Amino acid sequence: MSRIFVTGMGVISAIGHSVAQNRQHLVSGTCGIQRALDLFPTKYAGLLPFGQVRTSTETLVKQLQVTDPGVTRTSLLALHAFNEMLEDAQLSPEDLASPETALAGASTVGGMCLTDELFADANHHTNGSPYTSSYDCASVNMFLQKRYGLKGIINTINTACSSSANSIMYGAMLMRNGFARRAIVGGTDSLAKYTINGFNALHILSREKCTPFDENRNGLNLGEGAAFLLLEKEEDINGKKVYAELTGYCNANDAYHPSSLSDEGDGPYLSMQGALQVAGLTPGQIDFINAHGTGTENNDEVEGRAMLRLFNTAPAFASTKSFTGHTLGAAGAIEAVYSILSLVHQEAYANLRFTKPVPSTGLTPVLAHSPMPVRHVMSNSFGFGGNCSSLIFSKP
């Protein structure tokens, strides 16, 4: 079976507009979550903290030289990360447009960030709206396809918070089954009133900066961002820079509840176990886990139980959502980049604002940036509907 490597990365989040900026703030412990939200009018702007990318939509349009009508902030964030990935990977225009290059992109917000604009057009115009075609989640990949003349397999994945982890997995499976020679994988989501109101209705938004895995955690902070990675086969590396090998992946579902995981963490346990089996690794070989760690009561306790169930003694772990907020469909890809940075720089990042373990697990995450030997790192992404995915990246 052909080995698959990561040869390019791009990311934008509340803590930086590049891979280098994101790492800089992960190392320094600089949180990107703030109460300021100026993307659209909402009563929650001064009440709730958010992981907003500190660049306006209008500025992104100008910086990225986008002239297409109805392009969403979701697509602009994707384009920013996509461009960095292309430059980093030095993928030629010919290879990018090749039918052998697949694009597996994820999003849960899609064009919902323009719901108000679409609604206004529906009330004031009778001949359609430029926001109609951009409303669908697939509009992001269709925008990238048009801009770059992509001709390979293109698919959009929406499995809630595990979406872009599944896009990485899907791209690898396309390659291993002969449907693609290389795959661009990742995801994007922007902050939107639709999702803010939806998560608030679930009573899981914290009024303070989130505290993943802490006994007194009281919810998550929504964030936004995008990340893309280039996956290439071993035979196509030819002396290229290689960040990591994608050695393991698995998706599982405990089918327990629309928005909660089962008490014993069957889905997380099975996804982590399955990823280890694909990688041919034992639990003791995982050096660090970039945990899903949303800061909600259910998720953190259940993920902790699943780790204890599988590893007996949990490896070093942390939730980088304490830096960025929960970026929904982009989380799996952004945190895959962070996991790879752990490998490249032999370090673990902090779980910010932790003070006291959950009594039922007694687990304490990494509390400060820590140099440490990292050979294999696991990245967890668990979505609504029990859709759970785990990825394993290894030093090449």
Could you write out the DSSP letters of every residue in 321-370? HHHH-B-GGGHHHHHHHHHHHHHHHTEE---TT--SB-TTT------S-E
244 within some domain: no
Asked if the structure places residue 379 within a domain, the reply is: yes
Which residues of the chain are under the pLDDT cut of 70? 115-123, 125-126, 129-134
Kindly report the pTM of this predicted structure. 0.96
Is 18 in the same domain as 162? yes
Residue-wise DSSP of 7-24: EEEEEEBTTBSSHHHHHH
Residue 163, domain extent? 4-236
- Domain finish residue from 203, 236, 269: 236
User: What are φ and ψ of residue 357, in 5° steps?
Assistant: -65, 155
Residue 194 confidence (pLDDT): 87
Q: What pLDDT is stored for residue 385 in this prediction? A: 83
Same domain? For 298 and 203 the reply is no
121 and 193 assigned to the same domain: yes
**Residue 131's pLDDT is what?**
64
Position 241 scores a pLDDT of 95
The verdict on 15 and 145 lying in the same domain is: yes
Residues 77 and 117 in one domain: yes
* Same domain membership, residue 175 and residue 53: yes
Cα distances (Å, whole numbers) of residue 204 to 32, 146, 224, 300, 322: 19, 38, 17, 13, 15
Q: Are residues 307 and 258 in the same domain?
A: yes
Q: Answer whether residue 241 is part of any domain.
A: no
Position 123 scores a pLDDT of 65
Rounded Cα gap, residues 372 and 54, in angstroms: 31
Average pLDDT for the chain: 94
Is residue 169 helix, strand or coil? helix
Name the residue with tokens 């918070």: 161
CATH number for position 351: 3.40.47.10
Is the residue at 200 inside a domain? Answer: yes
Name, in order, each residue with C-beta under 8 angstroms of 273's C-beta and a sequence gap of 6 or more: 250, 310
203 and 342 together in one domain: no
Give the whole-angstrom CA distance, residue 287 versus residue 284: 8
In a shared domain, residues 298 and 232: no
pLDDT score at 41? 87
